[in-house]
A and B are shown apart, each in its own frame.
Chain A
């Protein structure tokens, strides 16, 4: 099966500019996650969708970050305006999970290669 697709792989922008990342999950995966991975740290969940609804966005800086998954398939993460501290790899992942984990392995995540953002 095709994996999780992300683009662009690399992006360099200046602070206060905007940027958008795109993710296409594995076909049929109901849940989509965006993680932020700052150099030297573990991935931090920004937002989690189940189909086209938001399950968790408690750690998303909503004054500058936004994300959507309009048709319950692919998703876009936007940053506007960007700050220096937004420099990170943005990882998209998907899983078959559709709620409380009843099926073994349902919350196993499949990750894309990531989008590396450098803010100057």
Chain B
């Protein structure tokens, strides 16, 4: 079965420092990968997606992610975080059909 693993449940980081949130996926023929963000008391919203083409994907709010097929990873990065980035981040995977499977989430806590 398709799956994603988010290795860190919580990541504290100081404001303006860089951050990387890790995600690994189970291999499949077709791979579509996503990062969603969930702010407190809100639904999930799409941050960025990898469907095909360039392995470096840029999303909203200055986030980017790199698709690494050999390592089956799709880590999320931001060079300088802000207080407003405090949220929970979910990696998601789709193997080509409609089903989208989510990871367990990583809580990013930005410290002033």
Instruction: Using CB atoms and an 8 Å cutoff, list the residues of chain A in contact with chain B.
Output: 4, 31, 33, 35, 40-45, 48, 50, 55-56, 91, 93, 95, 97, 99-101, 104-105, 107-114
Sample of 15 more A-B contacts, CB < 8 Å, known A41-B104, A56-B99: A35-B102, A40-B105, A43-B90, A45-B99, A91-B43, A99-B98, A101-B94, A101-B97, A104-B51, A107-B32, A107-B98, A109-B92, A111-B43, A112-B43, A114-B42
Which of A43, A56, A107, A111 is in CB contact (< 8 Å) with B94? A107
Say yes or no for B34: interface residue by CB 8 A criterion.
Answer: yes
- Taking the nearest CB of chain B, how far is it from the CB of A56, in angstroms? 6
Q: Select from chain B the residue with minimum beta-carbon distance to A43.
A: B102
- Report how far A31 CA is from B41 CA in the complex, Å: 24
Whether A109 lies near B42 (C-beta < 8 A) is no
Whether A105 lies near B98 (C-beta < 8 A) is no
Q: How many residues of B contact A (CB 8 A)?
A: 27
Chain B interface SS verdict (over half): loop
With a cutoff of 8 Å between Cβ atoms, the chain A residues found around residue B43 in the complex are 4, 91, 111-114
- Taking the nearest CB of chain B, how far is it from the CB of A48, in angstroms? 7
Q: Select from chain A the residue with minimum beta-carbon distance to B45.
A: A111
With a cutoff of 8 Å between Cβ atoms, the chain A residues found around residue B7 in the complex are none
Chain A interface SS verdict (over half): loop
- Taking the nearest CB of chain A, how far is it from the CB of B71, in angstroms? 21
- Report how far A44 CA is from B105 CA in the complex, Å: 12
- Report how far A113 CA is from B102 CA in the complex, Å: 17
Interface of chain B residues 83 through 103 with chain A (CB within 8 A):
90, 92, 94, 96-103
- Given A101-B32, A107-B32, answer yes or no on A43-B44 (Cβ-Cβ < 8 Å): yes
With a cutoff of 8 Å between Cβ atoms, the chain A residues found around residue B94 in the complex are 101, 107
Whether B98 lies near A101 (C-beta < 8 A) is yes
With a cutoff of 8 Å between Cβ atoms, the chain B residues found around residue A55 in the complex are 98-99
Which of A42, A48, A91, A105 is in CB contact (< 8 Å) with B99? A48
